[in-house]
Structure 1
Amino acid sequence: MKLLQYNTSVGLPELRQKLVKKMAWHDKIKTDNDHVMLTQGAQQGIDLTARLMLNKDDGLVVEGPTYIGALAAFQAYEPTFYEIPIKEDGMDVNFLEDTLKTHAVKMIYTVPDFQNPTGAVMSLEKRRQIIELANKYNVVILEDGTYRDLRYSGQNLPTIKSLDSEGRVIYVSSFSKILAPGLRLGWLTAEDKLFKALIGLKSGADIESSNLTMSIVNTYLDDNSLENHIALICNCYRQKKDAMLSAMRKNMPSIAQFTNPQGGFFIWLTMPKNFNMDKFVNQQQLSKSGVLIT
Structure 2
Amino acid sequence: MKNRPPWMVITALIVLGYGIGLIQTRAKDAGGVDLFSRVAQGICRPGAAFLTYVADWTGGLASGVWRAPALTRRVNELENEVARLKSSIPERMARLERENTRLRSLMGMPARLMEKSVGADIIGYFPDQHRIQLNVGENDGVKPGAPVVAPRGLLGQVVETSKTICYANLITNPEFSVGARVARTESQVVGIVRGRGDDILILEVYPETADAQVNDRLITSGISATYPEGILIGTVLEVSVDRNYGIRQARVIPSANMAKVREVRVLIRP
Length-normalised TM-score, structure 2? 0.23
- Bigger strand share: 2
Structure with the greater alpha carbon radius of gyration? 2
